[in-house]
Each structure stands twice: as C-alpha cells, then as structure tokens.
Amino acid sequence: MFYRESGDFKTSYSADQQTFPIRLDRHVVYGILAFAFLVVPFLINDYWEKSVLLPFLVWAMAALGLNILTGFCGQVSLGTGGFMAVGAYACYKLMVAFPWLNMFIVVILAGLITAMVGVVFGLPSLRIKGFYLAVATLASQFFLVWLFNKVPWFYNYSASGMISAPERTLFGIPVTGAEAPPWMTYLFCLTLVTIFAFIAHNLVRGRIGRSWMAIRDMDIAAEIIGVPPLKAKLSAFAVSSFYIGMSGAMLFALYLGSAEPNDSFGIAKSFLVLFMIIIGGLGSILGSFLGAAFLTLMPVLLKNIMVGWFGWPADLAAHLELLLIGALIMFFLIVEPHGLAQLWRVTKERLRLWPFPH
Amino acid sequence: MAELTQDGRKIGDILLEVKNITLAFGGVKALTNISFDIKEGEIRAIIGPNGAGKSSMLNVISGFYHPQQGEVWFRGQKRGPMRPYEVARQGIARTFQNIALFKGMSTLDNLMTGRITQMHTNILWQALWKGPAEREEIAHREKVERIIDFLGIQAIRKTPVGRLPYGLQKRVELGRALAAEAKLLLLDEPMAGMNLEEKEDMCRFILDVNEEFGTTIALIEHDMGVVMDLSDRVVVLDYGKKLADGTPNEVRNDPAVIEAYLGVGH
Ligand SMILES: Nc1ncnc2c1ncn2[C@@H]1O[C@H](COP(=O)(O)OP(=O)(O)O)[C@@H](O)[C@H]1O
Ligand SMILES: [Mg+2]
C-alpha cells in the first residue's frame, strides 16, 4: 500500500528535517530524477524539447523565483516579465562579450545581474505593500521592456532590434544556436533547474525562509521579535530575481534562440507566472513545478486532443483551449484555493493514515 | 545588593528603566511623564483600565513607538534610537495583546523564528544546507524542543498555528517569546480571553520561567487576583499617568488606586 506509516517515527532531528521526510516521496522523486536524467535524453526529439520539456523547465524556474518572493515573502510582483528580460539581455551581452565563458556561468551571472536589478526595484517594498506594491512592480515591468526597446546598446545595434543567441558549446557540443541537439539543451536546463530547486528548498526551510514567511504572515510582529524587514524583503527580491533572471536567460538562449522585449517578456508573461504559482500553490516548491506543468503542458495536451484526435481546425482549437484552461483554473481554485500542492498534501495525509483515519 | 523575595528568588539590580516617557499620537497623550524600573529577576506587573497606555508602554520598550520625550535605559546604558529588531537582539522578547503568530507556519517554525536573533549562518551555507546550516538548525531545534516539552505542546508541533484554538495559540506565542531566551520578557495580557484552567496553566508557566531560568518578566494583566499572586511589584497607569508603584499590597491599599478602580465619589 502507499504511504503506510500512520505516525511520526523519526528519532533524530536531522532525520525529521530531511528534504523528503516520507520514504515513498523520496523514492518517487529520486525515481523521477533518474528517469529525467538517464532515460529522457535518449528518447527526446525536437517536438518534445521545444513544445514540452524546455518550456516546462524554463517556466518552472521562473515560478520558483516568483514563489520565493510572493508565496514565501508575501510581496506581490507583476514585474516577472521585465526581470526575465534583464536575465535574457544580460545573458546575451555576456555571451557576446565573453565567447569563451561556460554557459552555466553565463546563465548564473545573468541571474546575479538580475538579482541586483531586482533589489533596486524591490526598494519600494520597504514603504508600500499589497496592491500598491503590485502597481509599483508593474511600473518596473513597463520600464524594463521600454528600456530594452529604446536603448540599442542592449541589442548591440542590430537592425531588427532583436537579440539572438550565438552558438556556444559545452564539452565540444553546441548548447545554444540552431545546431544544439535537443538532449543537450534539455540536460542543460534540467541540471540548472534541479540544482536550484534543491537550493530553493534549503533556503526556505532554514533561517532565511522563516524570516521571509514571518514578514509575509505578520510583518510588524516579525520585526518586533527580531526579523530585520529590510534584509528579509531585499533578500527575497534578490533571490527571486536571481531565479527569474536565470529563467529569462534560459528562455532566450536555450529555448527561443532569439528574443524581442515586447513579445518574449511582456506583461502577459508576468501574469502567466503569477497564475502558475497561484494554481500550483503559494509558498510551495512542489507547487511551483505543478503550476508550471499545468500551464505549459495543459495547452499542449488540449491541442493534441482537439486537433490531433478529433481533427478540429487549429484556430477553433486555440480558442477552445483558452476557454478550457480558464475554466480549469477556476475549477481548481474553487476546489482547493491553496493550489495543487495542497490538494496533493491533503490526499497524502489521508493515504498515510489509511485505513484508520482517526 | 541582591534582595530575596519571600519565596526565596533573587532580585538583582535594575535591568530596565524608563525615565519621564511622554508619548502622544497627534493631540492624544497616551503616556505622560512615566518613570519606573524593572529589576533583574522580578515579575513586574503593569495594570490600569482600558486605554490607560499599558500596551503603548510596552511598544515604547520594544522600540516600536518612539516617545516624544524621555529615555529608556537597558542594562545600565541609555538606549539611542533603535529599530524594534535591534531591541529584540539586545535580549527583549514579547507577546502581543492580539495574538500575532505567523499563521501560515507550524508551531515548530513559529518557535524557531523566535530564535532568529541568534541564528547567523549566511545565505550560501543555507543554500548548501549540509554543514554549518544544518548543524545550527539542529542546535536550535534542541533548544526549541525543550520549550515544546516545557509547555506541553508536543502534539501540535507540526500543526499550522492558524488551525489551533485560541488558548493554544496564546501558549504557542508564549513559546515563541521564550525561544528567544531573552533577558526581559514582555507579556501583553497573556491570559486575556482564557478560561480558568488555561489561566492557571499560564500562571504556572510564567512562574516556572521566572524561577527556573531567572527571566525577568513585565506583564500586563487585568485580573487583579492573578496580579496579586504573580507579581513582585506593580505599576498602575491611568489615562497615561502613573498612579501608583509598589508591592501588590501597597498598591491595593493606595487611595488613588482605590478611587480609580472603585470609582469612589461616583
Ligand atoms: N498607534 C496608535 N495611534 C493612535 N492612538 C493610539 C495608538 N496606540 C495607542 N493609541 C492610544 O493610546 C491610548 C492608550 O492605548 P493602549 O496603550 O493600547 O492602552 P491599554 O493597553 O492600556 O489598554 C489609547 O487612547 C489609544 O487610543
Ligand atoms: Mg492594551
């Protein structure tokens, strides 16, 4: 049977604090990771790479980032698209300026640059909250997109105003550019997302995560018991922007190959990531993945069903898809306002005590 | 120097002293020229009718309100302008009149957050977890578990505090303040809204904390019986002014207090 244990039998605090305290969870997660790293690279093709796996990984990274800021620290942001743009343009400038630089380092540096920008745009959060902060971050969204449109230096004065990723190799194999094989781009993104998901988990379960959650739950009490609000909020902005910057860099360099501020990083993207964490679960690492999976994979699935199986015209399917996704979002929010992660947690709690629920 | 109480506890030097505190909100004077001290090891009660300025006084001590006039001295030093979290770091912990727990977090995490002033591993170690961050976490977890045992809240360790009944929430909030291992504990109406049994438990906890750990406690309480039982000295506020200051007996027999409380002449 699944989840048979019916009680807390941990005998040491380190066992109680481990990443996946339930043995079955541990096995499932490690099993998925082994499959993702060892099997998928042999099966992957262009379609799976570009339509399913890369978008999922890129948006999961963005959702992790926004969830740290909004879900864990309670600071609403509508600037995600803008910060992804910072990551993408930083990535582009770094790739061009230092062609020999390892792509992992490039993406991480792009994240760090975004973190610094995020801290600057996070400063208003020290004075304003809630809707007002959302509006302030919305302003940063528009400002950043405008900036990358208006200042040609960012796109190296290219005539089209677009940036495109030059070919870079890793172990002699192209990882960016048109020649990059699907398994390479996939493994690159998977490695980054896996590492940084564990890091996010480590951050939220310790001192820093608790300082974020304390600010989220009751900021005045948090300060009076010893949480410095400035440090807590700005560190959340920094870490969140770091993740979002990396996702922007991956979106541009690995997934799209070229980008342009309005289409690739517009306000729609900010809302998309916000939807992901709301549907997946605010304040949950797993929820970031579930939300990203839901909103990237569901459209693909619906399209395949409607166009592929039923043979409906593509434009009709596209409209129906939007309707269906909207309806599903509402359905999930009504059934479980705390998101898919909570739905999963509740089901698990029931299973763990089964068959004696009391 | 040290005096002994009747039950044999040691009362030491002055730990905290407020001098001539005046605090106004716009035109409303919440506190007028208030001075009193809190000695090391004692249980000090602050009483007075609603709106007397008791909570405001604690907020001044916490550094949350900044008085227009007056000084706060802590451990023999005059305190400059300070943010509340800096005050907490100096060793002052507190609970609130309206429960101010972190609702989305478990009991355990609330208590661990109470220790935040003493946790220091940097963000890079935290990201790695294995090593200093985990060791620090376990060391603090052990301290927190002792408080959990002391308060008898083992069963709700992993429960999100938002789901707990009122009385237990008050207890968890006390636990969070205790977790700080502060020099001075400020309790704002720790027994408000509790039934008799819960009140007795809370009294027991307060006395035990004071006796076992020698923690100095300043508490606001309405129940005069409780105040008389618990406290070594009482300061009485009324309309932001200090009415009386002394042992429970002295205060009880003070004509000004009797008048304010019993409304002599009305
Ligand atoms: N933040 C504030 N803004 C305006 N007035 C306040 C504030 N805090 C307290 N007061 C006023 O100060 C007076 C004392 O309040 P308080 O200290 O809460 O009294 P107590 O705790 O003794 O019941 C009241 O008149 C109250 O309205
Ligand atoms: Mg009060």
Is the domain covering B1-91+182-266 a CATH 3.40.50.2300 domain? no
| Rounded-to-integer distance, Cα A96 and Cα A112, Å | 17
Does residue A1 have a pLDDT over 70? no
Q: Whose CA is nearest to atom 14 of ligand 1?
A: B53
Vertex B195 angle, CA B192 and B198, to 5° = 85
Q: How confident is the model at residue A88 (pLDDT cuts 50, 70, 90)?
A: very high
CB–CB of A254/A185 below 8 Å? yes
**CA dihedral (A56, A62, A67, A68) positive or negative:** positive
| Rounded-to-integer distance, Cα A153 and Cα A29, Å | 44
Q: How confident is the model at residue A10 (pLDDT cuts 50, 70, 90)?
A: confident
DSSP category for residue A53? I
When pLDDT is averaged across residues A116-138 and rounded to a whole number, the result is 93
A226/B145 CB distance under 8 A:
no
Q: In this predicted structure, what is the pLDDT of residue B235?
A: 96
Ligand 1 atom at minimum distance from B53 CA: 17
- Mapped onto helix, strand or coil, the DSSP state of residue A225 is coil
Chain B residues close to A14, C-beta within 8 Å: 134, 138
User: Each residue of A265-314: pLDDT tens digit?
Assistant: 999 999 999 999 999 999 999 999 999 999 999 889 988 888 888 888 88
**CA dihedral (A303, A269, A201, B110) positive or negative:** negative
Query: Is some CB atom of chain A closer than 8 A to the CB atom of B139?
Result: no
Helices and strands: H and E segment counts in chain A: 17, 4
B62/A224 CB distance under 8 A:
yes
Q: Cα A322 from chain centroid?
A: 21
Q: In this predicted structure, what is the pLDDT of residue A23?
A: 79
Does residue A7 have a pLDDT over 70? no
| pTM of the shown model | 0.93
Q: In this predicted structure, what is the pLDDT of residue A9?
A: 60
Distance in Å, CA B91 to ligand 1 centroid: 25
| Rounded-to-integer distance, Cα A234 and Cα A121, Å | 9
CB–CB of B113/A211 below 8 Å? yes
| Rounded-to-integer distance, Cα B45 and Cα B105, Å | 31
DSSP category for residue B161? G
| Rounded-to-integer distance, Cα B97 and Cα B188, Å | 5
Tokens of B237: 């506020």
Q: Whose CA is nearest to atom 5 of ligand 1?
A: B25
Ligand 1 atom at minimum distance from B237 CA: 22
Q: In chain A, what are the domain boundaries? A: 22-263
Q: In this predicted structure, what is the pLDDT of residue A198?
A: 97
The H-or-E segment that residue B140 falls in is helix B132-151
Which of B102, B114, B128 is the closest to A218 by Cβ? B102
The residue ranges of chain B whose pLDDT is under 50 are 265-266
DSSP category for residue A3? T
| Rounded-to-integer distance, Cα A191 and Cα A41, Å | 12
pLDDT averaged over chain A?
A: 92
When pLDDT is averaged across residues A95-99 and rounded to a whole number, the result is 97
Does residue A148 have a pLDDT over 80? yes
| Rounded-to-integer distance, Cα A69 and Cα A140, Å | 15
ipTM of the complex model: 0.94
Interchain CB contacts (distance < 8 Å): A and B: 109
Q: Express as a percent the part of chain A with pLDDT over 90.
A: 74
CB–CB of B245/B234 below 8 Å? yes
B30 lines ligand 1 (CB under 6 A): yes
List, in sequence order, the alpha helices (H) in B35-105: 54-61, 84-90
Instruction: Spell out which residues have Cβ within 5 A of ligand 2, the ion.
Output: B 55, 97
Q: How confident is the model at residue A340 (pLDDT cuts 50, 70, 90)?
A: confident
CB–CB of B15/B40 below 8 Å? yes
pLDDT averaged over chain B?
A: 93
B59 lines ligand 1 (CB under 6 A): no
Q: In chain B, what are the domain boundaries? A: 1-91+182-266, 102-179
A227/B93 CB distance under 8 A:
no
Ligand 1 atom at minimum distance from B26 CA: 4
